[in-house]
Structure 1
Amino acid sequence: MNINDFDFDLPEELIAQTPLKDRSSSRLLVMNREDQALSHHTFSDIIDYIGKGDCLVLNDTKVLPARLYGSKKDTGAKVEVLLLHQESDDDWEVLVKPAKKIKEGTEIVFGDGKLTAICLEEKEHGGRTLRFHYHGIFLEVLNELGEMPLPPYIKEQLPDQERYQTVYAREEGSAAAPTAGLHFTTTLLEQLKQKGVQVVFLTLHVGLGTFRPVSVDTVEEHDMHAEFYHMSQETADVINQVKANGGRVISVGTTSTRTLETIARDNDGNLVEASGWTDIFIYPPYQFQAVDGLITNFHLPKSTLVMLVSALAGRDFVLKAYHEAIEQRYRFFSFGDAMLIL
């Protein structure tokens, strides 16, 4: 399957640069797979489509303030560091710019010396392993010195860093937000619970590979990045009971979807407590084993995320929905509007 099958023309002005003041006031495009119908709503209307006996699965990962600005200890040259994932204790895989200036043994200073690092290993494409040195607790130092790593297509500054976190974020470790969840407020989640919807959580730490473009001609040639996930037995039990009772499992975001489908694939369709790294790549045709519906934002052309959505709703129907969203001037990407696929 050619990646151009998932292409579409997106006007740059539709790429949302700032979040709305009210999270749940974004627009919602509802896709009904049974009758191939599209309808337009406000996100808070989602309560009309998810009911008693259904289950909402959210990713509770929390974005690290993973972008650091420092300088080389010996020359004072400016250096930008982006944390990718923790390899062990104080050793992190990072991206550095300009990479050519950071060799093995190079020392970097951040925040007047509150945090320092030494390069242990050079990797491909600007990657490095850094060992950090500090006093106190690393996450507290990072919260003081780091900035939120907004996606490359967002050019404006974000005054309130919490607007790039979901209201239920708690497990620190992501380099990017699970953006479908940004539309939920604590009030809306409580209303769903009062209606009889089961609300459960899992964790998948989103890596920057989520923004990596597909650089091959055919879908089958693409290698997915791996991301760490965890789901508790409590969450698994609730989802299994919902499915046994005939309820629907509605996944919030492609990250939750990939986690659920990974665990179901690895356990003969069953959901159990599980942790590990997943590089699952979902594209048409694909038989979903865990997910019945999906809440998601609008994604980049030719991206793996568009392919996942197409696997659930059908490529033609998804492209029709995207074209209508563009005509109706929906806002796209991380701070944009949402779709609900049922």
Structure 2
Amino acid sequence: MKRLRVLIMTGFETLTGFMLPMEHRSIVWGLDEQNIEWHLYNPWNPLPRLDRYDAMYVSVYRYYNRNYVYYGARREAELLARGFPVIGTVENAHSLHSFYLSRWADAGIECAKYQHFSAFEDITDLTYPLVLRRDGMHRGSGMYLARTPEDAQRTIETQRRLALQTYPDAKGMLPLNLAIEFVETERSGLYFHKFRSYVVDDEVIPAHFMRSISAFVNYKDAALWAQTCSMDEVFRLEGEPHPERVLAAARAVGLDIIALDYSRLPDGRYVFWEGNRVRATAGDSHVAWLGIRDTDMRYGASVARLIRRRARQADPARPAVPFAQPAAASFLR
């Protein structure tokens, strides 16, 4: 019986670079556990012989090549047209916040109202306080809380001046262009709460519970005290109490694999803040000392199972149980 072989489409051009993020290490761990042979592939190169492979997994982690999305979209469309199993997508690879918010709003999923703007005067339909940010910028970068119109105007104009000073540096600051209504959520004393869960197909994996005195509740300003860490562990071990709500939010955006950030309202309802194509957990490369957590292993195993299911759906004769053979990996050139 044939062993499962999967292509991993990536923007990384070396195996060393690819293995740096915990995102990829988790997936490779899952593939190895499932005894799935994997090979890395850059989409600007010609496709290999597809009869030698059973599925393609699409990674968008930082994509690391400015042409990755362009070539990746072409390869993805080509494979889908051939009926070849593709897990993941380059759609919204830049992870625009407005992409998720618009789809949730259309589906009736509770989320914050938002509006794009190019100048302060464009913001006309929202209620203060507002979160001002650059659409698609993550990890808490460039976020500002404006409690009044005066705050918003001052912040927007200041950031625009700073952006002009760095132009045309490709890595320079970009002006703010997205306003989001701040929603008052459940608190414990002075602390705001935020949850993150990974969704892989129909499985909800609780990932993080965070608290912060900052309304944004990001990794960089989270209160990593003993009580918070204990609450995080309870959340991960006991599970998300309403997985159907999280799954509905994932279904609304139409992606197989996604990380969702959300909070609970004082009345128990959920409000969804953003989706992340790249889950970038606290075990990522910049804080690698945390090692691989149980959540990372669950995530990797779940992705590997999804790949196997999709491959078997395309080829029902494939065995459901992997052989006990050593895994293999390579980088296609």
Q: After TM superposition, is the score higher than 0.5?
A: no
Q: What is the TM-score when the length of structure 1 is the normalising length?
A: 0.28
Answer 1 or 2: which has greater helix percent.
2
Q: What is the TM-score when the length of structure 2 is the normalising length?
A: 0.29
